Amino acid sequence: MCFAVPGRVTDVDGNYATVDFGGARRRVNIILLEDIRVGEYVLVHVGYAIQKVSPQDAQESIKLWNEILGEEGNYRF
């Protein structure tokens, strides 16, 4: 089973982007995707952005993650 987590791109530098996961920022490889821009949402799996997603789809996924994590993990943008 694989998990991909949505995040918002806050900076792009060559083949890497800084992605915000509700307060936690990580450097992510974006080589698998074309034309990633600041403000877009991506799904990230093991350090690689694997797909662009709409803000609505990202928010729905975040809502589901919050349900899974319960009160301990309020993941917000």
Q: Which pLDDT score is estimated for 74?
A: 61
CA dist., res. 72 & res. 37, Å (int): 31
CATH for 5-71 is 2.30.30.140
- Which residues are registered as beta bridge partners of 20? 8, 25
Please state the domain extents for the chain.
Answer: 5-71
Q: Judge contact between 44 and 37, C-beta under 8 A.
A: no
Kindly report, residue by residue over 11-66, the tens digit of the pLDDT.
999 999 999 998 899 999 999 999 999 999 999 999 999 999 999 999 998 888 78
In which band, very low, low, confident or very high, does the pLDDT at 1 lie, cut at 50, 70 and 90? low
Q: Which pLDDT score is estimated for 65?
A: 79
Q: Judge contact between 61 and 77, C-beta under 8 A.
A: no
Its pTM stands at: 0.83
